[in-house]
Amino acid sequence: MNEVRHRTIETNGIRMHVAEQGEGPLVVLCHGFPESWYSWRHQLRALAEAGFHAVAPDMRGYGRTDAPAEIDKYTLLHLVGDMVGLLDALGEKTAAIAGHDWGAPVAWHAALLRPDRFRGEIGLSVPFLPRGSNRPTTMMPQDDDAVFYQLYFQEPGVAEAELERDPLLTIRAGLYGASGEASRRREPGEPVGMVPRKSGFLRGLTSPPPLPSWLSDEDATYYAEEFKRTGFRGGLNWYRNIDRNWELLAPFAGLKVTVPALYVAGDRDLVVAFRGVDKLLPGLPKFVPELRGAIMLPGCGHWTQQERPGEVNAAMIDFLRGLP
């Protein structure tokens, strides 16, 4: 089986770096924050060996892909447009699309808005969330002592200053902190996703615990070197468009994801905890009528495809093989 290939393509007005492996039906893999194409390293080979052409881009603002300076160039419409342009650049009419963390809303909305181009969708960690009636940031918790992390990310320069002080510490602390291993140490009833106003996102951490078995020092260093070079602003700008996305998606309120879909998450994922996903899942088929399954992985934290590559690969391949 050939190795991972790298190239740069033109899409939606930017230059995008992609990693790809295999030949066959196209599967696009969208990463989240704070990651890169590298978060799909275990899936690229598995999908290629199963007969698919797997393509994992550095998403807009990350890695070797362009990072526009303007905050409003990171809306979901831009991000879905990037994926449509990726298909065009590869000469493909259709593809299946998968997304994890922030990549999941991109994948869900690609399937929602362009079912003619995206024939199947796999969401990891974040389920499809219908547009609500209120601006998202107005619903996020905060008090005198702490603020929800997505609110902490809103003001340009604040989170950048903290996260860029030591990118390796940021990566080690961040990936460990949202893992299944860290959740075992979390106190019952401890607030999830809250940032202490006095100590910041990393909570003054200077020496995180040893990395879990699924994340090597080499893996952490790869991520850290990318962010050391690019900074975190591109990824943080996705969060700064949460309310703008809500405004732009108003014409599509109530629209359903009509293509076949799969949802996979860990039962120790912080997203499952603070979004109450366990309560949302029973109603998910109302908005995703072709949902083929909702898999909850015991003991798995937020980094689904990295923490449980074997189980995720098997679920993805089984789903993809069942697409029309």
Query: What is the pTM for the complete model shown?
Result: 0.96
pLDDT single digits (tens) 2-34: 799 999 999 999 999 999 999 999 999 999 999
The band of 274, judged by pLDDT with boundaries at 50, 70 and 90, is confident
pLDDT single digits (tens) 218-249: 999 999 999 999 999 999 999 999 999 999 99
Give the model's pLDDT for residue 296. Answer: 95
d(CA 215, CA 120): 29
pLDDT single digits (tens) 27-85: 999 999 999 999 999 999 999 999 999 999 999 999 999 999 999 999 999 999 999 99
Q: Please confirm whether the linkage preceding 34 is cis (ω < 30° from 0).
A: yes
Which CATH class for the 5-321 domain?
A: alpha beta
* Dihedral sign, Cα of residue 151, residue 64, residue 114, residue 259: negative
302 is catalytic: yes
Angle at 269 between CA 183 and CA 140, to 5 degrees: 105
Q: What average pLDDT does the chain have?
A: 94
100 is catalytic: no
Domain ranges of the chain: 5-321
**List 58, 82, 101, 269, catalytic entry:** 101
d(CA 159, CA 120): 35
The band of 193, judged by pLDDT with boundaries at 50, 70 and 90, is confident
